[in-house]
Amino acid sequence: MPEGGRKRIHFSRLYSFSCLKSPFRDGHSQIGQKGYSRVVYCNDPDNLEAVQLNYGGNYVSTTKYTAFNFIPKSLFEQFRRVANIYFLIVACVSFSPLAPFTPLSIVAPLLVVIGATMAKEAVEDWRRRKQDIEANNRKVQVYSRDYTFVETRWKKLRVGDIIKVYKDEYFPADLLLLSSSYEDGVCYVDTMNLDGETNLKLKHALEATAHLHNEKSLQKFRAMVKCEDPNENLYSFIGTFQYEGKEHPLSLQQILLRDSKLKNTEYIYGVVIFTGHDTKVMQNSTDPPSKRSKIERKMDKIIYILFSSLIFISFIGSVVFGIETKRDISGGKYRRWYLHPENTTVFYDPRRATLASILHFLTALMLYGYLIPISLYVSIELVKVLQAIFINQDQEMYYEETDRPARARTSNLNEELGQVDTILSDKTGTLTCNSMEFVKSSIGGIPYGRGMTEVEKALAKRGSKGESEFDGVSSDFLGQNTDAVDSQKPVKGFNFRDERIINGQWVKEPHPDIIQKFFRVLAICHTAIPDADEDSGEISYEAESPDEAAFVIAARELGFEFFARTQTRISLHELNYESGKKVDRGYPLLHVLEFSSARKRMSVIVRNEENQILLLCKGADSVMFERLSQYGRQFEAETKDHIKRYSEAGLRTLVIAYRELGEEEYKLWDKEFSKAKTSVAADRDALVDEAADKMERDLILLGATAVEDRLQKGVPECIEKLAQAGIKLWVLTGDKMETAVNIGYACSLLRQDMKKIVITLDSPDILSLEKQGDKDALVKASLESIKKQISEGISQVKSAKESSNTDKETSAFGLIIDGKSLDYSLNKNLEKSFFELAVSCASVICCRSSPKQKARVTRLVKLGTGKTILSIGDGANDVGMLQEAHIGVGISGAEGMQAVMASDFAIAQFRFLERLLLVHGHWCYRRISLMICYFFYKNIAFGFTLFWFEAYASFSGQPAYNDWYMSFYNVFFTSLPVIALGVFDQDVSAKLCLKYPFLYLEGVEDTLFSWPRIIGWMLNGVISSLAIFFLTTNSIINQAFRRDGQVVDFEILGVTMYSIVVWTVNCQMALSINYFTWIQHFFIWGSIFFWYVFLLVYGYLSPAISSTAYMVFVEACAPSAVYWLATVLVVVCVLLPYFTYRAFQSRFLPMYHDIIQRKRVEGFEVEISDELPTQVQGKLMHMRERLKQREP
Amino acid sequence: MASSSAAAPGSADSTAARRNTKRPKYSKFTQQELPACKPILTPRAVISAFLLVSVVFVPIGVASLIASRKVVEIVHRYESSCLKGVDNKIAYIQSSADKTCKITLKVDKHMKSPIYVYYQLDNFYQNHRRYVKSRSDQQLRDPKEESSTSACKPEDIANGRAIVPCGLIAWSLFNDTYSFSYKNKSLTVNKKGIAWKSDREHKFGKNVLPKNFQNGSIIGGAHLNESIALSEQEDLIVWMRTAALPTFRKLYGKIEVDLDEGENISVKLQNNYNTYSFNGKKKLVLSTTSWLGGKNDFLGIAYLTVGGLCFFLALAFTIVYFVKPRQLGDPSYLSWNRNPGGH
């Protein structure tokens, strides 16, 4: 049996391959075309044809490796690094007689380093595997051949199976919803795992299948689904459903995606459509683009420099060796007869001196290989992981409200955080809370709402605008602030205060009918789901966007309570203004024309109780005003004026309009629309949009809404600090220019003393061209206009700069540009000049920009400045921007998790950015740069002693030290202190980092990892090695070095020099850091101590193992005074130049951290009397905040 | 300190209250607030560091110099004087002619026993890789390992039998000999105990006898008495401890009588060893020792120099700090702001 089965599968593969070649086999419309070829036989997975399709099972593996390919694949990953390849080659060659050391002493460190990295990979992969196993073995109810549901494991599901999923269970695969416990076949789904959105989504089954409620009815159920191939698009689905001879269109509404959860519904039945890796969520799980930090890229260059110097000194050695060797036989005479030059191997043959010297070159490459630090990569990786843990553990970046700590999602960009030059920030949800509050509205040309926004407060503070006339509200600003409690309890999302409207007072207003229609639109035109609390009867809403929730809440508060929704009906408790009574009204729902960022509006078509068909529409002003009918423009001028004012106050506005439809008109359109909806083609969306567009015309204006998106806590302060740290901030937002500018003021991005340069296409002549519809002329004129504006801006900046040279007052510029102009500015010809202008401005605001533009601006800034760019955002529309920038920071806020998933760091609040950059970024930058410099220093100092020794050994390739001393150098005697440096070092405390933000400039200007500094460290290494070699040899060699007349031989010189090297590099470490906890002390002095312990232990092993190291310390060195005196002398001599330099430099050419450290020590009393109370103060503040939160 | 340590349990309480919170746990370690000492280079620290070094180094330097000066050392170079008038020195040294040479050493200063006798060679690369590797430690240690000579080529096998001790080092064993007479009496040179004890006892076998040594076509250096075990052949053991640099001294023996000032020592030496091929010098060295070992002025001078330099630096920094006392205390440094906007 199994054999037959296998054969069949094999055959079917061939068969399906031939199917691909003739896609029109069944002659069915679009289906079968490329990209739309999937066929699912529902409830019939054993059907011959279904088996022939041979879709994969539901087994999922997210691991990088399998048990079989782990070794080769991870090894391959390892050897993608140049340095590792070098070490591999060295290890291979070390088995030949060319090697200056024993092979084991070369291979062992390599194995340790590679093994450590592979172990890390293996552990990570094992974790993923465990998750996979757990997921694959979850249980699910599947409909079996004997017409009952039986339990099976997730991995055993096949395409076409019917399964039953219960409440709060995850969907095991992508399913087609057949029916649910609800009569009408709806169900609610939580997509938290997919996109992080916490609101419930409503899905509904096709009416044709909604009746399949029990096992019996499924018995005869057979259907076929034809749909798109597996793809990663979470937001669209195209397919048809053939059932009982009819074809039904399928949309995302019927699809339940794997990893989302069933909510509020007892159970559902569904057909498996995509399994395993074909599911949308798996198709989506691509690795984010891997980013490398600047420092690491620079480090590669240093490695190349070291490689070249390695080759250079090897070359010198080989040439000298060749000459020396050749001279060993001259004229038949043997010079160094003790080497037997006449009878030797090719490696030393004077007669073939050239060949010998070439071979020697290879030996030398190995010998001086200590210049390339083998453990550098692995140490850096380890250090960064530990640094990331510190970031994750920082309590100061933990946000209590959402219970989210900061997360470093990649550890390899930590030090990049310390070098950020420009921040590109999203506005909504990033600078603001993204929890919308309904504050104002303009209905029928009359503005309502007396609340005061934060922007207005900021404006009022500046006292520049005549705020008293604002909104026709005169005085009660202060009152608004203080008595926010206002007798009734505050409602989240609702901050609308106007006695003319609330408590049913609106009926007395001049146009109660318009007000009624207005709020009815708010209550009906949305996709929110009501969720009644069973105890209190209070209704809360699950809405797709916070704006929408704010509208529904506002409608509820003002007497239009939306309380129930079915697939075909929306029900309200409504206040009738004529009778003044509350009545329940139901609105049969005919169509929902959904919101999309392209359409910028949404509409619903309902039938009211008077049997009128109404289209209720809300949308952005840019698209709505052009859709008004001639008779619907009654309040256009006033409304426009109000909208402008609202956006100046930093509010988001939407225009509300409606339209009555005739029965005939609707029927005609309904047909067309349904046809568009059922079409199964790539351009379906376009067809639907087009059809919708036909209906959303001739609207009648009702008014406009304004919701406030509050600034997040601490944003202005944070921006101020970042500006002091020399970081430029660009805001890229989709908002209107006025809103953006005002938010800019509110969060101190723009200041009163700044000159604004505005680039816009809102000039009258452009607008008139737009109306004429001559596209070419429009483009040309726009380009010209932008060009002119940019060059004007540049000249303005230039003249300001020139004048600032004479008097010190520099005036800053703020550039404000809108989306359309941005489009033109990013044009190739203008890119450069736009960019020139943009970088010379202190802050830049791009408003009305689309996600794509955001990404493009990011790339432009990245390439143009060559500096480090950080982008920060919270929504799906920021993903491009986050991935494009050097560092992407995601705000884990309300708009879902996509931004976080695409980010490198995730924080909960914008204000944490300050700490992330100024403290962690600065520290990590400093640590890593010092660590790398020091790493090279220590290896150069060590490697070059070998070279100097060679010079005295006629470059024969004999290492000065015992093999094992050498191989342990990088692993035991010097590695731990440098790791401690990389993980723990602090130049100044976190508090001072925040207090003196200019310290951050060290990273922006890259002073700690500049070439002079790197070269300086390297030279220091070379000089150290010179001093070590010559001072040591001179002070101990030739004469007896002990009272008993013994002289220094090869082994003793090696031990002495090596001891001095270990002392030197560790003391150099102690000198170059100024932060000692017990960890530093332990590692630095421990390393030196360990060297002596090693020497003792190794020396006690039998001479067969220890060879030249046998008893050398105990017997020869330790009792000798000269050994110790030489150690002290040389170590002090070697460190003296650095110490003197530092003493001089920190006093007379101080770097920023030197200044602050000085400040700290000199202001000693400040720190003592300051630090402890601030901790207490912090506690108090914290408690106060908590109290405040509790009060409401 | 006290209050900050009290803060820790407090925050632990609040985390315990909300068990499921993701709030990072407080510890001084995770919050990077470990108590640390943060030394910086204040003028006082710099000056006292320099002073400390000079205070420590100068006495050591003086003591070393004194010790070094007490050591009496006689160095005599003899390789050219012994072959005066010989045209082809290489041919001569390789011939079997009598190479006896007599030299006289004058004792300038009273030399207290023990007086160490060294030979010093020059331009001899005992640290050459080929040379260093050309030995078999197993063979030297263990009579059963006689045939493990693979590293010793070409001095591994002669006449079909393994050479013990094999290799270039043993083969090129130094073979000049010295006999001293003082006040017309011959001086005994004690050759026991010139090698390291660990070598004698652990690296060279007590029952490993030289075999087939210097039987090859070319004779390198000294012959060995085949009836004496290797562990007793201290000249060989000393020679086999290869030197670090091309100029080196090796211990020849000890003279265990005092030598008086102004007396002469006549040395009869067999100038057998060929250093003429590579222009190497040969020197005979007689030296007493102090606690510091042999005559070693360098160490003392270096200590004094560094000590003096540090003193000078301490002085210089004091002056400089005095002249420009508080440049950095100036708070204007701190209010400075790069922000192009300014305020």
**Amino acid A17: pLDDT:** 36
**Amino acid A978: pLDDT:** 92
Which residue is it, tokens 């090696």?
Answer: A1054
Residue A894 pLDDT > 70: no
CB contact under 8 A, A723 and B34: no
Check if B308 contacts A (Cβ < 8 Å).
Answer: no
Lowest-confidence region among A48-52, A334-338, A642-646, A1140-1144:
A48-52
pLDDT band at A1174 (very low <50, low <70, confident <90, very high): very low
Check if B310 contacts A (Cβ < 8 Å).
Answer: yes
Strand A560-566 with A569-575, pairing:
antiparallel
Q: How far is B101 from chain A (nearest CA, A)?
A: 23
Check if A1122 contacts B (Cβ < 8 Å).
Answer: yes
A681: buried, middle or exposed (CB in 10 Å: 19+, 13-18, 0-12)?
A: middle
Residue A482 pLDDT > 50: no
Non-local (6+) Cβ contacts of A1069 within 8 A are A934, A977, A978, A981, A1084
A375-410 per-position pLDDT tens digit: 888 888 889 889 999 999 998 888 888 888 888 887
In chain B, which residues have their Cβ closer than 8 Å to the Cβ of A990? 32
Residue A26 pLDDT > 50: no
CB contact under 8 A, B291 and A1121: yes
CB contact under 8 A, B31 and A395: yes
In chain B, which residues have their Cβ closer than 8 Å to the Cβ of A344? 130, 154
Q: How far is A1112 from chain B (nearest CA, A)?
A: 9
Check if B332 contacts A (Cβ < 8 Å).
Answer: no
**Amino acid A485: pLDDT:** 37
Non-local (6+) Cβ contacts of A444 within 8 A are A510, A511, A514, A515, A518, A635, A702, A703
pLDDT band at A916 (very low <50, low <70, confident <90, very high): very high
Cα dihedral A163, A169, A175, A176, rounded to 10, equals 80
**Amino acid A468: pLDDT:** 38
A569-600 per-position pLDDT tens digit: 888 888 776 676 778 888 888 888 877 766 77
**Amino acid A10: pLDDT:** 37
What are the residues facing B12 on neighbouring strands? none
Contact in structure between A539 and A424 (CB atoms under 8 Å): no
Chosen from B248, B289, B339 to mutate, greatest number of chain A CBs within 10 A: B339
**Amino acid A560: pLDDT:** 85
Higher-pLDDT residue of A166, A65: A166
A815-833 per-position pLDDT tens digit: 888 877 887 887 777 888 8
Q: How far is B196 from chain A (nearest CA, A)?
A: 8
Average pLDDT, chain B: 84
Q: Which of A195, A394, A426, A498 is catalytic?
A: A426
Active site (annotated) includes residue A426: yes
A760-794 per-position pLDDT tens digit: 877 777 777 766 767 788 888 888 888 888 888 88
Check if A1146 contacts B (Cβ < 8 Å).
Answer: yes
Lowest-confidence region among A31-40, A104-113, A1131-1140:
A31-40
Check if A1098 contacts B (Cβ < 8 Å).
Answer: no
Contact in structure between A54 and A40 (CB atoms under 8 Å): no
Q: How far is A272 from chain B (nearest CA, A)?
A: 36
Q: What is the mean pLDDT of residues A534-549?
A: 75
**Amino acid A1178: pLDDT:** 53
Lowest-confidence region among A551-565, A615-629, A730-744, A910-924:
A730-744
Q: How far apart are CA A341 and CA A351, in angstroms?
A: 9
A128-185 per-position pLDDT tens digit: 788 888 888 888 888 887 888 888 888 888 888 888 898 888 888 888 888 888 777 8
**Amino acid A346: pLDDT:** 83
Chosen from B196, B274, B324, B336 to mutate, greatest number of chain A CBs within 10 A: B196
Higher-pLDDT residue of A1065, A485: A1065
**Amino acid B310: pLDDT:** 95
In chain B, which residues have their Cβ closer than 8 Å to the Cβ of A1050? 126-127, 132, 241-244
Q: What percent of chain A has pLDDT over 90?
A: 16
* Positions of chain B with pLDDT lower than 70, given as ranges: 1-20, 325-343
Q: How far apart are CA A237 and CA A677, in angstroms?
A: 12
Check if A321 contacts B (Cβ < 8 Å).
Answer: no
**Amino acid A1188: pLDDT:** 54
CB contact under 8 A, A343 and B22: no
Check if A128 contacts B (Cβ < 8 Å).
Answer: no
Diameter of chain A by CA atoms? Answer: 130
Average pLDDT, chain A: 81
Higher-pLDDT residue of A455, A924: A924
Higher-pLDDT residue of A1160, A893: A1160
CB contact under 8 A, B22 and A1044: no
Q: What is the mean pLDDT of residues A542-557?
A: 80
Q: How far apart are CA A643 and CA A640, in angstroms?
A: 5
Residue A340 pLDDT > 50: yes
Which residue is it, tokens 């309200």?
Answer: A572
A67: buried, middle or exposed (CB in 10 Å: 19+, 13-18, 0-12)?
A: exposed
In chain B, which residues have their Cβ closer than 8 Å to the Cβ of A1111? 196, 198, 202
pLDDT band at A438 (very low <50, low <70, confident <90, very high): confident
Higher-pLDDT residue of A102, A693: A693
In chain B, which residues have their Cβ closer than 8 Å to the Cβ of A400? 23
pLDDT band at A1170 (very low <50, low <70, confident <90, very high): very low
Residue A728 pLDDT > 80: yes
Q: What is the mean pLDDT of residues A190-206?
A: 70
Higher-pLDDT residue of A471, A720: A720
> A723: part of which helix (H) or strand (E)?
helix A715-724
Residue A504 pLDDT > 50: yes
pLDDT band at A474 (very low <50, low <70, confident <90, very high): very low
